[in-house]
Chains A and B, each alone.
Chain A
Amino acid sequence: MNTAATYQYPRIYLYRRIVQAKLFIDTYYAEKIDLENISDEAYFSKFHFIRLFKTVYGKTPHQYLKATRIEKAKQLLREGKPVSDACFLVGFDSLSSFSGLFKRTVGQSASVYAAYHRQHKEQKAKTPLAFVPGCYAYQHGWTENSNFEETDQ
């Protein structure tokens, strides 16, 4: 790294690089991505990059990748995917490492989380109106008797 010519990058340029890295992780989290090279550019050391990333997002790129995978896994479990499917769909190689990280991050096991949301979903399907505040339902004409039809105007 050439320290004799120190460039003052405009702040916006640095931000753009950090944001690009974050969006890259957001898009490719399920692949085997190489975070080692994510900061690879002249005059921008990996250490500095990781430190800046952490200042902006509160996590290092590696921590952010793990958190993103777990968030996506939660979403898949809420949609009804089996735990093993969610695990491999978000980029984990082994069910045990996924389960361990999930429990440490979320505070409950993946199967307990999935079961709760499956139940909740079944309830919503049976009684959708239980989830809509009564005033909205009434004003919109969504009461039990009206069969969700809107009045002609």
Chain B
Amino acid sequence: MTVTNIHVLDQDSAYDFYVNKLGFILVDDIPMGPDTRWLTVSPPEQPDLQLVLFPVKVSKMFPKETADALIKLIKQGIFGCGVLTCNDIFATYEELKAKGVEFIKPPTKEFYGTEALFKDDSGNYFSLQPLNNFDAQS
């Protein structure tokens, strides 16, 4: 997987979230006409993976009904965009909280390991887990 989408409601606000709060690296920010940019970021240790911060707007791709439905679902927090792993979940949790990231669940012991949940500025959510959750079980 080289490029994948995160559907966002506002690119300026998403830029602030992913680059300033989450600490993702900005890859491209290229204007593509009025009010839209080709805006991509990478997780700091995965330069080969680009995440497109894809704005949901009425366009050739999203007719009005589709755009409205998608925006409603995103705001409802339907979309989980996957798992972000870190070395130390408590340190990462403290840092993200200090930067204003909203957590749905603090680091909690589950049967599959420790997990926290947070949302981005649009409503998409992520699972945050320490790398050792994924170590082979003995």
Q: Which residues of A pack against B, CB within 8 Å?
A: 11-12, 15-16, 18-20, 22-23, 55-58, 124, 128, 131-133, 136, 139-142, 148-151, 153
Residues in A neighbouring B28, C-beta threshold 8 A:
124, 131-132
- The SS class assigned to the A binding surface is helix
CB pair A141–B30 under 8 Å, yes or no, is: no
Provide the bound-state CA to CA distance between A6 and B84, in Å.
37
Q: Within 8 Å of chain A (Cβ to Cβ): is B32? A: yes
* CB pairs A–B below 8 angstroms (11 shown): A19-B91, A19-B98, A23-B95, A55-B88, A56-B87, A136-B38, A141-B60, A149-B33, A153-B59, A153-B60, A153-B63
B2-46 interface (Cβ within 8 A of A): 3, 28, 30-33, 36, 38
Closest 4 CB pairs of A and B: A148-B33, A19-B94, A15-B90, A151-B60
Q: Within 8 Å of chain A (Cβ to Cβ): is B52? A: yes
Residues in A neighbouring B30, C-beta threshold 8 A:
124, 128, 131-132
B interface residues, how many (CB within 8 angstroms): 23
With A139-B60, A150-B33, A151-B60 given, name 15 new contacts (CB 8 A).
A12-B94, A15-B90, A19-B91, A20-B98, A56-B87, A56-B91, A128-B38, A136-B38, A140-B59, A140-B60, A141-B59, A141-B61, A150-B60, A153-B59, A153-B64
Q: Within 8 Å of chain A (Cβ to Cβ): is B58? A: yes
Residues in A neighbouring B63, C-beta threshold 8 A:
153
The chain A residue sitting closest to B3, CB to CB, is A133
B79-102 interface (Cβ within 8 A of A): 87-88, 90-91, 94-95, 98
**A70 to chain B: closest CB distance in Å?**
14
Q: Which residues of B pack against A, CB within 8 Å?
A: 3, 28, 30-33, 36, 38, 52, 57-61, 63-64, 87-88, 90-91, 94-95, 98
- A132-B38 contact given A15-B94, A142-B33, A149-B33, CB 8 Å threshold: yes
Provide the bound-state CA to CA distance between A139 and B58, in Å.
13
CB pair A19–B38 under 8 Å, yes or no, is: no
CB pair B32–A131 under 8 Å, yes or no, is: no
Provide the bound-state CA to CA distance between A150 and B57, in Å.
10
- A19-B95 contact given A56-B88, A142-B33, CB 8 Å threshold: yes
The chain A residue sitting closest to B23, CB to CB, is A26
Provide the bound-state CA to CA distance between A86 and B61, in Å.
42
The chain B residue sitting closest to A14, CB to CB, is B90
**A80 to chain B: closest CB distance in Å?**
14
Provide the bound-state CA to CA distance between A44 and B95, in Å.
20
